[in-house]
Structure 1
């Protein structure tokens, strides 16, 4: 692995341009708020892109040079071209790490990787969220206490149409009583994926030091740290002699 982890932060960047309350909180966009923090962290090389940039912010050269993709989207998921989703999907399967934030669970890429439709309970009521750490020894929660408390967030609740994770890092409790699997680790092909639930655009969640610490930790953890074992697919020769006959009767399958 190179000294620098090449992180690309992709943001839909719709709400910040069309909703005054969001523009006030994130005047340069969620991607820039995250980028300014992560740029200051040792070993992370940051690139940003949005839906409205040329090539939707993800030209081929950026995709190929990305070790970790951080994705935030909500209203414009259907405007992301399928051909772009195909490229990103193949990169994750081949080893690129991916972090999906908040409503990105409804993105085309997340749903394709997870094999589910996304969605579930939700409510905007300015309520408190407490994210309980369930795996205190996991690298993603390094430097985090027993929980992260956010004074105001949008509620996402169970049952939620996301798959069971390989490891559940956070469980959220909301002031209204619901709970949500909020820090989920998956493996897809050779790539690591982390879904982190908080981050509604109308709240300053991405200025919270613990939230930023989790995203930084996750970027380091999902990055491809070493060459994974080679996985062979397709028609292959046998490792040992085979005595069977082919269905067409022409002898050994390798003849």
Structure 2
């Protein structure tokens, strides 16, 4: 079982009746229920919990962390961000959703502004599979559509992805790199664009399929961790004379 923690700032749902009507128990709970049939051991965490719900114990028992944030990026404590970063570097997978592109943790891992163009007009989004052999696209067709979503458009100020698996086209004409993978240290990162809070995106079966596939892909590989620093030789090194020139 993959140990999955779903983190959501859980702010919009408390103050916006439209969002509360779509996600009455929060985006984190909708995702937990949508992924319940998967071979995951799921827990949730939110911003207002002690240590944002991401205590040392929780992080040490998390194989993959899903991150949804939007209006409260600045409220996330730097110490918690640093702890998440350390866990990613040591092998924890990270799935960053929608406006999580502006989260402290994603910007730290990318090293860029992660800025983009946007528009909220309830327009159609068509997500094209551009890497059909990738495990994250398993079970999908050539594309899938969301009838209403917020537009994100290029240029997206991120490093060139290790792999681009999904590309979005929007009704207004823009395109966007919507499914990007990265490796940082021993950790794997997947950025997945859809999920604006005023649309029921996280009930869409194709979206849930991508997230489930992403969690499986990002799960740690069970292998020995690299050893750094001064190293003793594995074999006997024969003594060699030092030749001084000059």
Q: Report TM bin, short chain.
A: over 0.9
Q: Distance in 2 between matches of 1:12 and 1:148?
A: 28
> Does residue 1:186 correspond to 2:182, yes or no?
yes
Q: Where does the alignment leave 5 or more consecutive residues of structure 1 unmatched?
A: 246-255
Q: CA deviation at 1:160?
A: 0.9
Q: Distance in 1 between matches of 2:7 and 2:34?
A: 15
Match of 1:85 in 2: 81
Normalised to the residue count of structure 1, the TM-score between the two structures is 0.90
Q: Distance in 1 between matches of 2:72 and 2:113?
A: 16
Q: CA deviation at 1:233?
A: 3.0
Q: Per the alignment, do residues 244 and 67 of structure 1 end up closer, same or farther by CA in structure 2, a change over 3 Å counting?
A: farther
Q: Distance in 2 between matches of 1:193 and 1:44?
A: 18
> Does residue 1:118 correspond to 2:107, yes or no?
no
Q: Distance in 1 between matches of 2:99 and 2:58?
A: 23
Which of the numbers 1, 4, 10 marks the counterpart of 1:7? 4
Q: CA deviation at 1:12?
A: 0.6
Find the residue that maps to 1:233 and give its secondary structure: coil
1:11-50 CA deviation, whole Å, 9 max, x = no partner? 0100000111100100000000000121222x20000010
**2:51, 2:80 within 8 Å by CA — same for their partners in 1?**
no
Over the aligned positions, Cα root-mean-square deviation in angstroms equals 1.6
Match of 1:20 in 2: 17
Which of the numbers 166, 173, 176 marks the counterpart of 1:177? 173
Alignment of 1:234-249 (within 5 A): 234-236=229-231
Match of 1:250 in 2: none
Q: Distance in 2 between matches of 1:17 and 1:153?
A: 21
Which of the numbers 55, 73, 96 marks the counterpart of 2:92? 96
Which of the numbers 209, 220, 224 marks the counterpart of 1:224? 220
Q: Distance in 2 between matches of 1:11 and 1:30?
A: 7
Runs of 4 or more, structure 1, over 4 Å off, are 235-245
Which of the numbers 151, 156, 162 marks the counterpart of 1:160? 156
Q: Distance in 1 between matches of 2:240 and 2:105?
A: 42
Q: Distance in 1 between matches of 2:72 and 2:175?
A: 27
**2:109, 2:184 within 8 Å by CA — same for their partners in 1?**
yes
Normalised to the residue count of structure 2, the TM-score between the two structures is 0.93
Alignment of 1:206-217 (within 5 A): 206-217=202-213
